[in-house]
Homo-oligomer: A and B are copies of this chain.
Amino acid sequence: MGGEVMEALIARALGGDVRAIAKLISLVENESSYTDTIMKAIYPRSGRAHVVGVTGSPGAGKSTLVDKLVLTLRDKGLKVGVVAVDPSSPFTGGAILGDRLRMQRHSTDPNVFIRSMGTRGSLGGIARATFEAALILDACGYDVVFIETVGVGQSEVDIVRVSDTVCLVLVPGMGDSIQLMKAGIMEIADIFVVNKADREGVNRLVTEVEMVLDMSIPKEAAWRPPVHKTVAETGEGVAELAESLKAHRNFIKSSSSGRDRAYRRLEWEVEEILRREIAKVVEDRLREVLSDPAVLEDLYARRRDPYTLAGEILCEIFNSNSENCGRDKR
């Protein structure tokens, strides 16, 4: 693809062309060499959307809930994007199937964009690609972008961390509250949702969550996460949840904590970009070094050790006067 073709593609995407947007997200997801160009063009136009992370155990009804939220926000005339991620599955099959089904539901609505992210590459890579997809949707005019994870765990925490608002979905009868406290995800939730609230044990779960919040949120905190009851299937409680999302958005916009969060996100992003670029350099150099069969033979025979070899490669990659190189030379 030539530079002009890419410029035209980006311009079409920024103008709202759905196919161009999908193409940009694919290029970024596949870590194409255009990622840098795309993101440099996208970034200055981003920062307007409300990015909402939705996480919780498998089976908690997250995708149904997001679907209903999408309908609610569409009724208000907002453009909505959804990025669904399944970092735990090595296959995109499930995600793609879900994607298709959901696409059908919204296929007549050009103001809803739904995208599933696969799990090529590292977990860090998915988190980054998800965030970049959200930035692209943001810059291309979507007012609210949902980032929806399939499971809950460290990788999901990393993924939703880039959201303005993190929504944690629980269901009664799954021993969730204890599990989630262990996973450290309760600390990052801005809004709690107890879904399937027509089931037994709802009130007990709500009480448990409130108790945990009593213990963990200081009384003087500017935002205490609300706990919503919803029945995603019927839409019960979804309108109130949508209001709550908006309230949290207003809160972070008007408080310093929103800027602090954006700062952490930016730090993380710069670090991820650096990590990716450096990994490329390392892999290239390593492939080169190891293409000499004598290198592995020497390591295998213990005539040389991997630590010394790595030190030598570092010296070559980095400025030879860098501290790191000096240390490995001693």
Contacts and interface: CB of A to CB of B under 8 A. Distances in A.
B281 A267 contact: no
A46 interface: yes
A277 B324 contact: yes
A302 B91 contact: no
A302 B46 contact: yes
Instruction: Please classify the interface of chain A as helix (H, G, I), strand (E, B), loop, or mixed, using the class held by over half of its residues.
Output: helix
B282 A275 contact: yes
Contacts of A274: 282, 286, 310, 313-314
A123 B123 CA distance: 10
Given A296-B263, A314-B277, A317-B318, A302 B44 contact: yes
A269 B310 CA distance: 9
Interface string A202-220: 0000000000000000000
A100 to B, nearest CB: 20
Given A271-B286, A305-B43, A266 B300 contact: yes
A263 B300 contact: yes
A180 B275 CA distance: 31
B90 A300 contact: no
Contact of A308 (B40, B89, B306, B324): B40
A97 interface: no
Interface string A250-281: 00000000010011001101110111011111
Number of copies: 2
Nearest to A314: B277
Most chain B CB within a 10 A radius of its CB, from A47, A278, A317, A319: A278
Contacts of A279: 275
A309 B90 contact: no
A307 B47 contact: no
A328 B37 CA distance: 10
A39 B305 contact: yes
A183 interface: yes
A286 B322 CA distance: 15
Interface in A197-235: none
A320 B318 CA distance: 9
Contact of A90 (B183, B286, B307, B313): B183
Contacts of A273: 306-307, 310
A306 B131 CA distance: 13
A271 B283 contact: yes
A259 B69 CA distance: 56
Given A271-B282, A273-B307, A274-B286, 13 more contacts: A36-B307, A40-B307, A43-B305, A47-B302, A90-B183, A259-B300, A262-B300, A263-B300, A270-B313, A273-B306, A277-B311, A278-B317, A281-B318
Closest 7 CB pairs of A and B: A43-B305, A273-B310, A270-B306, A269-B306, A266-B299, A263-B296, A44-B302
